[in-house]
Every structure is written in C-alpha cells, then in structure tokens.
Amino acid sequence: MRVERVDVHGVDLEMLRGGDGPTVVLLHGPTVYSPEAPFLRLLGQHASIIAPSHPGFGGSVRPDDFDTVYDLVHFYQDVLDRLPDETVTLIGCSFGGWIAAEIALNSGHRLDRLVLVDPVGIKVGGREERDIVHHFNTAPAELARLAWHDPSKQRSGLLGLGWQQHLEALSDEELTVLARGWDALCLYAWRPHLFNPRLKRWLHRISAPTLLLWGKSDRIVAPSYGRAYAELIPGARFELIPEAGHHPELEQPEAFVEHVLRFLRA
C-alpha cells in the first residue's frame, strides 16, 4: 500500500492505495489504518483498494466548516464522483460503517456491493438503554478490553482504540495522529453518541447487496445489535467472525478477507 495525497474540491485528502482488481473503497473507524495492516495486503491481492483518511484524521485536512457526519457523507459522494469506475464496492468499519450506510442511502447507484463491519450509526434499544459503549467516557483500558477479543493484537494495523493506555510507546507522529483523530471523532459523533436518530427508518432504502460482518466477541456493539441492523436492510446477510472483537479485519485478517471475497463473488 502506498500513501497518496489528492485534492477533492479544496480538501487535501490522504489516502492509501494499492492492490489489483475491482475497486474497493474502504472507510476506517475511529482511527486510520497502517499501510502494513495484513488485511490490506490480503485484500489487495484481489481488489484495487482506496482507503482515505477522513478529513481531520491521519494526515487529511479538516475544513473549518466540516463538523457533522453529513459533511463526511457529502464529501465522500464527491470522492466517488471522481473515480472512473461506474460502480465500486464500499466497505465501512465501525464509525466508517455508519458513513457507508448513509452513502448507500444517497448514492446507491454508485455501489456494486456494500460491506458493513461492526458499524455504528443507529439506535436499537430504548431511550435508557446504551447500544454503543461510550468511547469518550470509558477508561482506555476498559475500552480496549471491550473492543478486542485478544487485546494483545490492538497494535496490529491500527492507531487508536485502546492505544491510549500505551502512550509511552508511541512516537510523536503517532501521538499527533491519535490526538487529531480523537478530536475529530468527538466533533463528528459526540452527540448523539455515534448514531443518527433518523437513519434506522431509512435503511430499507439501501438497494445494494449488503453484508454485515461482526466480530463474535465485540462488546463495543454486540452481535445482537448487528443482527438488528441487518434485519433493517432488505436482503442483507449477517455473518460472525469468531475470536474477533470490534476490529475483525485486524484480529482475524484471513477470515475477514475470506468472508468479503465470498460475498463479492456470490
């Protein structure tokens, strides 16, 4: 994977690109992926991957007037319009899954397939029930325990969720990336916390074939939340990945890519 910079309507965007095959656009979760993440190499053997850092994350610039998820949704519609492909596969993980679901509602004609990996974005339970562990009010060590089946894997390809408890091991550059991403996530998703109250009603309008992949050990958003999410999208598949938490693409990269490729070839 190589790091590139592109200008999208005045926004200086950082993105990872690599691989060969049909185009897959990958939207990350709370923090950006490392170019060395094993799942990127494995998936890149079968697809051309475009993995941007959201504005405000990684090395991407956040314009002053970008402060909601819907700014990101409209921005990625611009990104899709710049691609030469008539349709692409869109993969969204965690926070990126929320963005991907919103894009699928508004730009479904540009999607060949949609893969949502442990996405957030909707409210399933009642008003007093917490569907999504609060990222900003939970101790870092506890957040890591809930996010990973095996917390020792939390440094394999990701900057962010859980790394706050290992700050002494980070370089200055990594600390800067971590801080920028956490600030941006707060800005985009603090209130309501990681969901759109209106999204649930409109998920039935998603027309692209959809796969929801879930880490069986995810305790940030439990598999029951994922099943409820899948039931709202017509024809959506729901599949579990054992021995994986909120980041199955990182904890079980081979199994993750196997599930994705089987869906793309179906």
How much is the pLDDT for 155? 57
Q: Cα 138 vs. chain centroid, distance in angstroms?
A: 20
Is the per-residue pLDDT at 167 higher than 70?
A: no
Residue with tokens 């990958």: 26
- Examine the pLDDT at 110 and tell me if it is beyond 90: yes
CB-based contacts of 45, cutoff 8 Å, min separation 6: 19, 20, 21
pLDDT in tens, 180-218: 999 999 999 998 999 999 999 999 999 999 999 999 999
Residue 151 CA neighbour count, 13 Å, CB half: 15
What backbone phi and psi angles, to 5 degrees, belong to 142? -70, -40
Q: Could you give the domains of the chain?
A: 2-265 (3.40.50.1820)
At residue 31, the pLDDT reads: 87
What is the chain's mean pLDDT, rounded?
Answer: 93
Alpha-carbon dihedral angle through residues 34, 180, 144, 190, given to the nearest 10 degrees: -130
pLDDT-derived band of residue 159, with 50, 70 and 90 as boundaries?
very low
Using the predicted structure, report yes or no on whether residue 113 has a pLDDT greater than 50.
Answer: yes
| pLDDT value at residue 127 | 83
State residue 166's pLDDT score.
59
Residue 172 has pLDDT above 90, yes or no: no
Q: What is the per-residue pLDDT across 16-32, written as a single tens digit (0 to 9) for each?
A: 999 999 999 999 999 89
Q: What is the pLDDT of residues 31-62, one digit of tens each?
A: 899 999 999 999 999 999 999 999 999 999 99
- Given a contact cutoff of 8 angstroms between Cβ atoms, the answer to whether 75 and 42 are in contact is no
